[in-house]
Structure 1
Amino acid sequence: MNVILRNKVEGLGLRGDIVEVAEGYARNFLFPKGHALKASPGAMDQAAKMRTSRDQKDQTAREAATAIASSLVPKTITISAKASSEGKLFGSISAADVADAVKAQTDIDIDRKSIEVDNIKTVGAHTATASLHSDVSFPINIEVVAAE
């Protein structure tokens, strides 16, 4: 049975996609949850509009992510943390710490869930990776300094 997806369905497709699914899956899961509607000629036009809307939103999100990346890549974010005299931190730097520091120093709000931080437990220069869009991933330069 051909259905038009009204929402993103994991493992199946995105909003506006026309997909072939088993009749029972459509009748028992997709239709009652409002995730899909039966593909008919009138619904095909609606699906085309959904795809156009999705593509425009995706393009806008990609452009915004690219603008944020171009402004953050040349900068170095400084984070102060308690450290021993040997330069080892008491604890570690998390993605939330990086997101807070980026917000405080550049006024750019990045969700902590989109930042990947390797185990930062020493003072010095480190790098975190931010993925703001499926096509836009960039490094964030971090300088960890000992708090006075």
Structure 2
Amino acid sequence: MSKLILTNEVSGLGSAGDVVEVKNGYARNYLLPRGFAVLWTKGGEKQVESIKAARDARAIATVEEAQSLKAALEAKAVRLVVKAGVGGRLFGSVKVSDVVAAVSAAGLGELDKRKVAFVAPIRNAGEHLATVRLHGDVVATITLQVVGKK
């Protein structure tokens, strides 16, 4: 078993700053090469505090704020205009950063791109869903209206 400090949030494992113990292969082949974690050391404990402080600075302060942001995000659809070809097929796909920028442009608030996930990859124009984990158990579902332009 390897003891690691997570530098990014890994679903099913923990969030940034958590100290976790995982199997050697998972650490060696997935977490460490992608930069999701670093090896735990005694000196790394100082690093844990700075990672947690940065995470807390980005986090939404209270559950009430998260609930109000959830209500605002779910109240209206977010419109995304992307390049598309014949039949509404997109050139590429919609990225998380596109969704974060569209939500910000719509005046609905700032989102952390690491907390946004798609239900399915978005490669066609139309209506799609994305989920945003705002605070603990508060998860908002955003309706995205993807419109193709030539």
TM score, norm. by length of structure 2: 0.60
From the superposition, tell whether residues 34 and 91 of structure 1 become closer, same or farther in structure 2 (CA, over 3 Å). Answer: closer
Letter in 2 for 1:33: E
For 2:138 and 2:85, locate their aligned partners in 1 and report how far apart those are by CA, in whole Å: 37
**1:132 maps to 2:134:** yes
Letter in 1 for 2:136: S
Contact 2:126–2:147 (Cα < 8 Å) also in 1: yes
Give the gaps of 5 or more residues in structure 1.
1-7, 13-28, 36-57
The higher radius of gyration belongs to 1
Give the gaps of 5 or more residues in structure 2.
1-16, 22-40, 48-58
Aligned match of 1:110: 111
% identical equivalent positions: 28
Aligned match of 1:26: none
Aligned match of 2:6: none
TM score, norm. by length of structure 1: 0.61
Contact 2:60–2:66 (Cα < 8 Å) also in 1: no
Three-state SS of the structure 2 residue aligned to 1:108 is coil
Three-state SS of the structure 2 residue aligned to 1:131 is strand
Letter in 2 for 1:10: V
For 2:139 and 2:114, locate their aligned partners in 1 and report how far apart those are by CA, in whole Å: 13
Residues 22-47 of structure 1: per-residue CA shift (max 9 Å, x gap)? xxxxxxx6698359xxxxxxxxxxxx
Tell me the matched-pair count: 105
How big is the alpha-carbon RMSD for the aligned residues of Structure 1 and Structure 2?
A: 2.8
Query: Deviating runs (4+, > 2 A) in structure 1?
Result: 8-12, 29-35, 58-61
Contact 1:62–1:135 (Cα < 8 Å) also in 2: no
Query: 1:60, CA displacement in angstroms?
Result: 4.0
Letter in 2 for 1:61: T
From the superposition, tell whether residues 77 and 9 of structure 1 become closer, same or farther in structure 2 (CA, over 3 Å). Answer: closer
Q: Which has the higher strand share?
A: 1
Aligned match of 2:62: 61
Q: How does 1:1-148 map to 2 (within 5 A)?
A: 9-11=18-20, 33=45, 60-117=61-118, 118-148=120-150
Query: 1:59, CA displacement in angstroms?
Result: 9.4
Q: Which has the higher helix share?
A: 1
